[in-house]
Structure 1
Amino acid sequence: MTGPPRERTPSPGEHDPRPVRAIVFPLAFAQFVASYAATNMNVAISTIAADLDTTVVGIQTTITLFTLTMAALMVAGSKLTDIWGRKRCFVAGLAVYGTGALLAALAPGLGLMVFGYSVLEGIGSALLIPPIYILITVAFPDLRTRAKYFGVVSAAAGLGAAAGPLIGGLITSAISWRASFVAQVLAVAWIVFLARRITDPPRTGRRPRFDLTGAVLSGAGLFLVVLGVLLSSTYGWFESRKAFTVGGVDVVPKGGVSPVWIFVVAGALVLAWFALHIRRRERVGKDPLLAVRLFRSRTSDLGLVTQTLQWLTLQGIFFVVSVYLQQERDYNAVQTGLMLTPATAGILLASAVAGRMADRHPQRRLIRAGFGATVAGLGLLLVLAHDTTRVLPFVPGLLLMGIGFGVMLTASVNVVQSSFAESDQGDISGLSRSVSNLGSSLGVALAGSVLVAASHPGGRPFVLALTILGTLAAVGWVVALFLPRKQAPAEPAPPAEPAPPTEAPSVS
């Protein structure tokens, strides 16, 4: 006999696991695919460069532009979730992403590869990733339950980044690097099919206007900063290794100040302009791309810094080890992926118990433990794996780093997302994902500036790159010291001023 239907509770998974599976699985799988796309090409850099008749620098630029596009557009993408709806934005992002993956699979040269992989997959990710975290937040109001499913999604992100080299290596060696992009197309099609069961709670109140000027300023500022760092592999950090020309004119002569700083300073100025712009829009009662109050939470601000440093270190390490193994030891894609398996296993082990750790320990302690394990793992890698041809010396360091990443990824996400009420989840989700992808871009760019500029990535460049990444991980540990021991409950956002009714959202 069937009884009356149960009333909806704050945590649907406590009574019936089916709504949880319908919501969490496609969201976590989508996050896995997006994270996989950021690292799977690392193990096939040499193969792709040879097939497309380009250079390692060209493929490094393509990888960096992918994460840079995500970082530059993530905030704008999150705002569109408030305008289009979370589920609609999620599915639209999947469609754009799948189209980009298909074009990359068919690319005859670097140009179409950049357009399909770096541009379209980057835009698609910027549209689909913010709704993942927003839908988890609104579906599970209870902090412990939310932490549990944040752990699932964060584990999927870390696992995708860590398993990308292995899975990509296996597919590349068994079939072709193009098959890896075809696999992404098929995965995205399946996620779109599963997404039909996702429920998106209706938005209350008026829809915001899209701040086009703010989107352009934020995207341009982030793009210029990371582009400047990327140029360091060609021109160096301080003294320009060669002339920097624009339209045949030497803007910076050889031996002058590196053009890196032209772009970094220009990006910083544009971001300062963006900050003034959103402050001015708020004062006159218009909808800014980001609310200024998002930057007034000390807990969230520190959490965003730890997120940036986590992903910078993670992606930087994968890039350093992948390039070193392929360029210095002539490893193929499968061998490179297998070498990184201990890091994947470490992330899996830590992520499997992320929910229980969140119940027993403050998020601050977990983030510190994660950074501490990462620094220790890097130390082991430098001591044991430097200048050796054996495999086993790499295992302890990579395993410990994987455990460190798995421990802290979920904690940082929970710190940031839980600092704000539901009305701010769209904005903070986009900002959180933007800084994470900015960290990924900077990690590849910084590591590449050391390795790619060297004639051989082994020896001193390998040690220097890992030392820089270890120093930044130590900075993350210090930042985590200033996180509060107990997180205060999120305060609701101030009510929006009533606006005249409009038939459709507009761009202003």
Structure 2
Amino acid sequence: MTVLPLALAQFVASYAATTMTVAVSAIAADLGTTVLGVQTAITLFTLTMASLMVPGSKLTDVLGRKRCFVAGLVVYGAGALLASAAPGPGLLILGYSLLEGIGSALMIPPIYILVTVTSSDVGTRARRFGVVSGAGALGAAAGPLVGGLVTTWFGWRASFLLQVLLVGWIVLLARRVTEPPRPPGRPRFDVAGAVLSAAGLFFVVFGVLQSGTYGWFVSRADFVVGGVVLLPAGGLSPLWLFAGIGAGILALFFAQVRARERAGGVPLVPSALFRDRVTGLGLLTQHVQWLVLQGSFFVIAVFLQQVRGYDAIETGLMLLPATIGILGSSAAAGRMARRHSQRRLIRGGFVLAIAGLALVLALVRVDSGVASAVPGLFLLGAGVGIMLTASVNLVQSRCPDSAQGDISGVSRCVSNLGSSVGTALAGSVLAGAPRPGGTSFALALATLGIAAVAGLVAAVLLPRPGAGAPAPG
């Protein structure tokens, strides 16, 4: 099996999640809407993808891994084509927010499932995960730079057309993707569980995204619905209202899972998956890794643009050392996996990432030179690249092939939630500052550093290799 189409698909999905940020003003002016309207479309894309990741992963057991992957590509490409021709915000939301979000939820889980079930050993699997993780990180890092270049030279619609061309190429390459035969019999899809999990995750992620506007604890503004102030400024942040609703729905989802298991049925996700210590801690490290990566990129990008006055292209070039660090460590993932346990690699990755954040805090100032950011950003990228590959390998390898549809969706959902929390956490710290400046950005990076330390603690708590039984399928 060739890993190229899988890596390219992850690149496109990550690219789409970050490239829109540099084209917001151009899209708003062209479509006759506001910046807030375009940001709403970006938020809906994040919500759609995060909400449907677990049901999308489970569909791989029903439709087949390769078939689900190709179907996701087709839906995603159709969405990008619609968005490129959008005459107004409505079609943009349909194409970008909904169809690209649904396509991402269908195609991303099979990427990790196919890598796992077609790799014969840990080293091969680590090498392939390194390629996929590197492509995803490259897409996220290159999104603002490439998006800025394409938007400046050809217009924002060309960025969507570029995605259409890439997706068409990936569909052709996907013909060479093979998958092991599935066990006889097709499991029934748990529709009720899919609805409950999607609704619960929607409200949780939506609540987290509100923190940038209202804050995490005390609301910075009135929360108004239909002209009625539901939560006044100075009171509890609406984040907790939506997160509470989401948590309540997810509690119903877990109750439904247990009830379905007691009745002898197959739930959307088996409850035993969440009782495995290695899986739980591995998922936690994944969440923190994406939180630190996306949060750091957000803080540094905003610092460069607001304080130093850089444009999107200059910002993307400044982030290049982190991208090189990610790609370099991802390329070495196979060799590192043969020499060290995944547990040790995750710990080492966190140590490097924390050191990178510390160097950025120590060396980068409002008036410091370009070279001051290079050592810290490189270490940050190298650390993230090491632990991203190791965590995915640890979690996916923990489950048998029959449970890959279960763990892949949960893993991707946890990672997406980490990205959302990282950006929202960093944004809320910056928004809460009395005025933009070096101190507020240092505080935001320090907050992310504390989160990285918490991730390191979770990595330290991971049992030694071979401890405990594998997660049940």
TM-score, normalised to structure 2, is 0.94
Indicate which of 78, 92, 101 corresponds to 1:99: 78
Amino acid corresponding to residue 238 of structure 1 in structure 2: F
Encode CA deviations 1:379-401: one digit per residue, 9 max, x unaligned. Answer: 12122223236322222221111
Aligned equivalents of 2:228, 2:206: Cα separation in 1: 20
* Equivalent residue number for residue 154 of structure 1: 133
SS, match of residue 185 in structure 2: coil
Amino acid corresponding to residue 203 of structure 1 in structure 2: R
Shift of 1:344: 0.7
Encode CA deviations 1:202-251: one digit per residue, 9 max, x unaligned. Answer: 32132111111111111111111121122122222333223222222221
CA contact (8 A) 1:423 1:492 kept: no
Alignment of structure 1 residues 306-455 onto 2, 5 Å: 306-388=285-367, 390-452=369-431
Amino acid corresponding to residue 289 of structure 1 in structure 2: L
Indicate which of 271, 278, 281 corresponds to 1:302: 281
Amino acid corresponding to residue 404 of structure 2 in structure 1: Q
Amino acid corresponding to residue 189 of structure 2 in structure 1: F
Shift of 1:60: 4.7
CA contact (8 A) 2:122 2:337 kept: no
CA contact (8 A) 1:419 1:488 kept: no
State the Cα RMSD in Å. 2.2
Distance 1:126 1:379, change over 3 A: same
* Equivalent residue number for residue 10 of structure 1: none
Indicate which of 53, 57, 65 corresponds to 1:78: 57
Aligned equivalents of 1:206, 1:438: Cα separation in 2: 33
Encode CA deviations 1:424-464: one digit per residue, 9 max, x unaligned. Answer: 11111111111111111212222222335657543333122
* Equivalent residue number for residue 247 of structure 1: 226
* Equivalent residue number for residue 113 of structure 1: 92
Distance 1:438 1:244, change over 3 A: same
Shift of 1:50: 5.0
Alignment of structure 1 residues 455-494 onto 2, 5 Å: 456-487=435-466, 491=470, 493=472
Q: In the alignment, is residue 35 of structure 1 matched against residue 14 of structure 2?
A: yes
Encode CA deviations 1:21-56: one digit per residue, 9 max, x unaligned. Answer: 3xx111111111111212223444454455556565
Q: Which of 245-254 and 444-453 deviates more?
A: 444-453
The number of aligned residues is: 473
Aligned equivalents of 1:51, 1:316: Cα separation in 2: 29
SS, match of residue 229 in structure 2: strand
Shift of 1:409: 0.8
Q: Which of 320-329 and 276-285 deviates more?
A: 320-329
Q: In the alignment, is residue 278 of structure 1 matched against residue 252 of structure 2?
A: no
Amino acid corresponding to residue 138 of structure 2 in structure 1: L
CA contact (8 A) 1:328 1:456 kept: no
Shift of 1:315: 1.1
CA contact (8 A) 1:61 1:230 kept: no
Amino acid corresponding to residue 223 of structure 2 in structure 1: F
CA contact (8 A) 1:43 1:326 kept: no
Shift of 1:492: 8.3
Aligned equivalents of 1:469, 1:308: Cα separation in 2: 13
Percent of aligned pairs with the same amino acid:
64
Aligned equivalents of 2:36, 2:318: Cα separation in 1: 23
Encode CA deviations 1:154-191: one digit per residue, 9 max, x unaligned. Answer: 22222222222322232223322322221111000011
Q: In the alignment, is residue 145 of structure 1 matched against residue 124 of structure 2?
A: yes
Alignment of structure 1 residues 213-232 onto 2, 5 Å: 213-232=192-211
* Equivalent residue number for residue 4 of structure 2: 25
Aligned equivalents of 2:86, 2:311: Cα separation in 1: 22
Encode CA deviations 1:337-389: one digit per residue, 9 max, x unaligned. Answer: 11111111111111111110111111111111111111111112122223236
Shift of 1:403: 0.7
Shift of 1:295: 1.1
CA contact (8 A) 2:141 2:316 kept: no
Aligned equivalents of 1:170, 1:253: Cα separation in 2: 42
Alignment of structure 1 residues 202-213 onto 2, 5 Å: 202-213=181-192
* Equivalent residue number for residue 196 of structure 1: 175
Shift of 1:488: 5.4
Amino acid corresponding to residue 235 of structure 1 in structure 2: Y
Higher helix share: 2
SS, match of residue 250 in structure 1: strand
Aligned equivalents of 2:439, 2:29: Cα separation in 1: 26
Aligned equivalents of 1:251, 1:319: Cα separation in 2: 30
